[in-house]
């Protein structure tokens, strides 16, 4: 769940409300919020001061409905606003109950990531005051996009071409340990967690399945649907 101060996203409403998508409750709500006369007066001015590259990335992403939360957060960060994460907040939502729905959901999330990451990366280094977080952001960004290549090298090129059979084994062990560490962290945050060990399995899913979904998302980037309906 996310919430935004109205004034932090008013400069973006004119781009989002003009998108050509009739099947989007988020955009209809935004258009409704866009309607009052005082807001119209406010947003007729160019409130978003970005580089040409950032501007084009934001306007392009605004035409699609699968990255609303990421895009609004990114647009707010590009201005003089900050985000606050509340780890104790409790929200209830529907989750995928089948593998097919799960894969469709994560495909949509990958498309959202691809749409917003160029926009965020164009200004994050200027807006962030924490050098460590800046370093982690760009490393994570690079890792996501190079993930399919890393998998191909580790599990195909090294063992079958170079004969280094232990490379995929060591890499898989490292992924399992990372998943275990995340599970332990989750268990420490929530003493009542019953399925924290499944994070080990999730590490393998992230390694193989989500990397493949990144490629699929690139081919379906122009499709504007939520996929889980």
Structure tokens at 119: 């926009």
What is the SS3 assignment for the chain?
CCCCCHHHHHHHHHHHCCCCCCCCHHHHHHHHHHCCHHHHHHHCCCCCCCCHHHHHHHHHHCCCCCCHHHHHHHHHHHCCCCCCCCCCCCCCCCCCCCHHHHHHHHHHHHHHHHHHHHHHHCCHHHHCCCHHHHHHHHHHHHHHHHHHHHHHHHHHHHHHHCCCCHHHHHHHHHHHHHHHHHHHHHHHHCCCCCCCCHHHHHHHHHHHHHHHHHHHHHHCCCCCCCCCC
Residues 103 and 126 in one domain: yes
pLDDT at 172: 94
Higher per-residue confidence, 109 vs 198: 198
pLDDT at 5: 77
Residues 164 and 214 in one domain: yes
Count CB atoms within 10 A of the CB of residue 191: 6
pLDDT at 25: 43
Taking the alpha carbons of 3, 8, 10, 14 in that order, is the dihedral positive or negative? Answer: negative
Residues 113 and 58 in one domain: no
pLDDT at 227: 59
pLDDT at 86: 81
Range of the domain at 106: 99-229
Residues 60 and 117 in one domain: no
Note the Cα 5 to chain centre separation in Å.
Answer: 21
Q: What does pLDDT average to over the chain?
A: 76
HSE-up (13 A, CA, CB side) for residue 70: 21
Which residue among 78, 93, 108 closes a domain? 93
CA–CA distances in Å: residue 94 to residues 91, 102, 105, 129, 182: 10, 12, 12, 36, 23
> Confidence band (pLDDT; 50, 70, 90) for 44?
very low
pLDDT at 68: 64
- Separation between Cα atoms, residue 5 and residue 175, nearest integer Å: 39
pLDDT at 155: 94
Residues 2 and 86 in one domain: yes
Quick: pLDDT tens for 142-187. Answer: 988 898 999 999 999 999 999 999 999 999 999 999 999 999 998 9
Residues 115 and 203 in one domain: yes
Which residue among 93, 128, 161 closes a domain? 93
Quick: pLDDT tens for 103-134. Answer: 888 888 888 888 878 877 877 777 777 889 88
Higher per-residue confidence, 38 vs 3: 3
pLDDT above 70: percentage of residues in the chain: 66
Residues 89 and 105 in one domain: no
């Amino acid at each position: 769940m996310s919430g935004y101060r109205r004034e932090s996203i008013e400069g973006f409403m004119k781009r989002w409300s003009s998108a050509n998508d009739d099947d989007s409750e988020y955009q209809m709500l935004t258009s409704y919020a866009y309607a009052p006369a005082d807001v119209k007066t406010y947003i007729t001015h160019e409130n978003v001061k970005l580089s040409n590259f950032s501007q084009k990335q934001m306007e392009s992403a605004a035409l699609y409905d699968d990255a609303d939360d990421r895009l609004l957060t990114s647009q707010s960060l590009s201005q003089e606003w900050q985000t606050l994460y509340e780890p104790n907040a409790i929200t209830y939502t529907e989750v995928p109950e089948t593998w097919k729905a799960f894969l469709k959901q994560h495909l949509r999330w990958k498309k959202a990531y691809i749409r917003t990451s160029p926009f965020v990366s164009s200004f994050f280094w200027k807006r962030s005051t924490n050098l460590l977080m800046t370093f982690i952001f760009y490393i994570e960004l690079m890792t996501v996009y190079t993930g399919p290549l890393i998998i191909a090298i580790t599990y195909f090129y090294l063992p079958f071409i170079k004969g280094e059979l232990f490379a995929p084994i060591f890499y898989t062990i490292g992924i399992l340990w990372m998943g275990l560490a995340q599970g332990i962290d989750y268990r420490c945050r929530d003493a009542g967690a019953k399925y924290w060990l499944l994070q080990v399995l999730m590490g393998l899913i992230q390694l193989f399945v989500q990397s493949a979904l990144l490629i699929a998302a690139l081919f379906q980037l122009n499709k504007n649907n939520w996929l889980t309906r």
